[in-house]
Amino acid sequence: MQQPNEVFERARQAREEGRFQEALQDHLWLHEHALAVSPDWNGVRLSFALRDWIYLAEQFAPARSALQAIRDREAARMLQGAAAVERFREVAAINEALGEVAATHQLFLALDSVDASVAEQCAELAMTALVKCQDFQLARRFLASPEQRIAQLAERLNGAAEALASQPASAAPTLLAFVLNYAKEVRLVLAVLRGMDEADEADNMKKAALDAIRSNGLRAIMQRELDQPGSTLAAMARQQEQDDAA
What gap in Å lies between CA 163 and CA 182, rounded to an integer?
Answer: 16
Residues 61 and 179 in one domain: no
Q: Is the pLDDT score of 51 beyond 80?
A: yes
Which of 126, 141, 156 is the last residue before a domain boundary?
Answer: 141
Which of 98, 118, 141 is the last residue before a domain boundary?
Answer: 141
Q: Which domain range does residue 236 map to?
A: 146-245
Residues 136 and 87 in one domain: yes
Q: What is the pLDDT of residue 236?
A: 63
**DSSP secondary structure code for residue 40 in this structure:** G
Q: Which residues contact 213 (CB under 8 A, 6 or more apart)?
A: 154, 157, 158, 219, 222
Average pLDDT over residues 214-228: 89
Tally the domains of the chain. 2
Average pLDDT over residues 214-234: 85
Q: What is the pLDDT of residue 239?
A: 58
Buried b (16+ CB within 10 A) or exposed e, 156-176: ebbebbeeeeeeeeeeeeebe
Which of 97, 124, 141 is the last residue before a domain boundary?
Answer: 141
pLDDT band at 243 (very low <50, low <70, confident <90, very high): low
pLDDT in tens, 163-219: 887 776 666 778 888 888 999 999 999 999 999 999 999 999 999 999 999 989 889
What mean pLDDT is reported for the chain?
91
Residues 88 and 161 in one domain: no
Q: What are phi and psi of 60, to 5 degrees?
A: -140, 95
Residues 124 and 225 in one domain: no
Q: What is the pLDDT of residue 42?
A: 85
Give the max Cα distance, the chain.
60
What gap in Å lies between CA 55 and CA 24, rounded to an integer?
Answer: 11
pLDDT band at 20 (very low <50, low <70, confident <90, very high): very high
Average pLDDT over residues 94-116: 96
Q: Are 24 and 60 in contact (CB under 8 A)?
A: yes
